[in-house]
Amino acid sequence: MPLAGLAAVVTGAGRGLGRAEALELARLGAAVVVNDFGQPGRDGTGEASTGPAEEVAAEIRATGGRALAHTGDVADFQQARELVELAVGEFGKLDVLVNNAGILRDRMVFSMTEGEWDSVIRVHLKGHFNTTHFAAAHWRERSKATGAPVYGRIVNTSSEAFLAGSAGQPNYAAAKGGIVGLTTSTALALAKYGVTANAICPRARTRMTEDVFAGFQEPDDGIDPLSPEHVAPLVGYLASPAASRVNGQLLVVHGGMVAIVDRPRVRAKFDSKQDTFTYDELDAVLTPHYAERPEGETFGAVEVLGLKRT
């Protein structure tokens, strides 16, 4: 039970990836606040429903774990505060934050509306910031009170859409790229307090991505390569003491495979022969350079989409 005695928050945990992650953290011994935006209502039969967050929390409690539900909107600053305060108030502290909540509003950049852009940036990027802000403040206060590092783990959810540059997801790719920047900044800022922050790029078949993976059939037997079950163990590991030296990292995970993504490296460097470059000088050095590069190559790492278990 590597997470025994630890308290965790998992956002967007009523279904899909977040649910699998919350169940895995609980299986490893953590007490979990299961967050999923929404209110209790009616199920498909018309019967009263407690809502997906409470259903997952009840599932954890049924196996002997500790869990409670939170149905607030993490993209709302005050409700994100209440989420962190709920974990601290119920379990005495917060040790692990898993940011997973998100939505999709896919459209080409020339067709996307302002609302489609704003809503995705709000839920993904601002939602990650909000919970991170309040968790970080909690850990900093605890560290200052004791004069020693605390135990803190942040696992953020980015996407291969950011790495490869998904053409039909400019809002989603931008939000997920921003999450990586938030993660690396947070990793450096909180390291002295004993906190690590890492980002994962999961590939999974969930309600949010059912249209994305509509052409990928589930196998007749065995675990679906796109099952969230392939992702949750990595989240459990990154939340554990064993991952104390893993910080500011980006990992791709799906289908029984984990890949560590290297940081960007300088491909080429050119120096001006004067105080500053002129147009002609830039033309003389950059045009031949790009003429020798593969046509269509961009900063996007499209090859990551071909990663698979071998």
Give the C-alpha separation, 37 to 90, whole Å.
Answer: 19
Number of H helices, E strands in the chain: 9, 10
Give the C-alpha separation, 234 to 228, whole Å.
Answer: 11
Please, what is the end-to-end C-alpha distance for the chain in angstroms?
30
Residue with tokens 């289908």, as numbered in its chain: 255
Q: Which of these is catalytic: 143, 159, 166, 227?
A: 159
Phi and psi at residue 56, in whole multiples of 5°? -70, -45
**Is-catalytic flag, 159?**
yes
Helix axis angle, 127-146 relative to 77-91, nearest 10°?
40
Q: Which of these is catalytic: 126, 158, 172, 240?
A: 172
**Is-catalytic flag, 237?**
no
Q: Which of these is catalytic: 166, 176, 193, 240?
A: 176
**Is-catalytic flag, 172?**
yes
Of 218, 258, 208, residue with least CA distance to 236: 258
Which spans in the chain are helix H? 16-27, 52-62, 77-91, 114-120, 127-146, 160-164, 170-190, 232-238, 279-291
Active site residues: 159, 172, 176
